[in-house]
């Protein structure tokens, strides 16, 4: 199972990204399964939230929050702390949307805000970080993400967000993200 933990603030769309990833992975058919859910409870714009995506090639019975993640994705770097490493599986990666320089092999850092401003014209980085995840992990293809976006986002948002996913994938790893691999 691959477990992805998302950090964002209410209104940034972290749960939408968690859900799009689950849909992209599992709607391809075959024996792919996914669960996606937000941290439960009252929601407030601006307040820290977490969201969860679990991906596997068999049905997933465990509906609990993720304790140790393969990937931890931050839409907002003010939520990142040293404690984050405790939630990471050995060999796991952190994807960080930040303008800062980061030198840590476990962290893939890039300026998602700048890309978002350029493509979406607003500082919303959820699909940006989803594209970055696809490129870094190779777990889900950009084509499947595109299908998930077309299947569940309002029509007027689709093209821009598909462009955002593609641009982010290119930005972090030169665009190589067509293989779907699950250990």
Please tell me the distance from the alpha carbon of residue 120 to that of residue 132, in angstroms, as a whole number.
16
Least distance to another protein, CB of residue 144, Å = 12
Does residue 152 interact with another protein by CB under 8 A? yes
Which segments of the chain are extended strands (E)? 2-9, 33-38, 48-56, 69-74, 88-97, 107-110
Residue 54 tokens read as 């679990």
Contact flags string 112-151 toward another protein, x per CB under 8 A: ------------------------------------x--x
Q: How far is the CB of 148 from another protein (least distance, A)?
A: 8
Binding mask 30-69 for another protein (x = CB under 8 A): ---xxxxxx-xxx----------------xxxxxxx----
Using the rule CB under 8 A, is 78 a contact of another protein? Answer: no
CB atoms within 10 A of CB 157: 14
* Residues in contact with 156: Cβ distance below 8 Å, sequence separation at least 6, in sequence order: none
Q: Does 14 bind another protein (CB under 8 A)?
A: no
Residues belonging to the chain: 183
The DSSP H or E segment spanning 17 is: helix 14-26
Nearer to another protein, 94 or 134 (CB): 134
Residue 15: φ, ψ to 5°:
-70, -35
Q: Where do contacts with another protein occur on this chain (CB under 8 A)?
A: 19, 22-23, 26-27, 29, 33-38, 40-42, 59-65, 148, 151-152
């Amino acid at each position: 199972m691959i477990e992805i933990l998302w950090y964002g603030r209410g209104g940034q769309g972290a749960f939408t990204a968690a859900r799009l990833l689950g849909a992209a992975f599992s709607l391809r058919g075959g024996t792919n399964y996914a669960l996606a859910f937000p941290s439960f409870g009252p929601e407030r714009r601006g307040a820290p939230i977490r969201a969860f995506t679990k991906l596997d090639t068999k049905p997933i019975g465990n509906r609990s929050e993720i304790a140790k993640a393969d990937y931890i994705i931050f839409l907002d770097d003010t939520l990142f702390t040293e404690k984050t490493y405790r939630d990471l599986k050995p060999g796991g990666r952190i994807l960080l949307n930040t303008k800062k320089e980061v030198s840590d092999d476990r962290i893939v850092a890039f300026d998602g805000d700048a890309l978002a401003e350029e493509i979406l014209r607003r500082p919303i980085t959820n699909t940006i970080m989803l594209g970055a995840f696809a490129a870094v992990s190779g777990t889900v293809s950009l084509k499947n993400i595109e299908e998930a976006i077309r299947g569940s986002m309002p029509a007027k948002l689709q093209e821009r967000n598909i462009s955002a996913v593609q641009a982010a994938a290119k930005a972090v790893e030169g665009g190589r993200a067509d293989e779907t691999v699950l250990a």
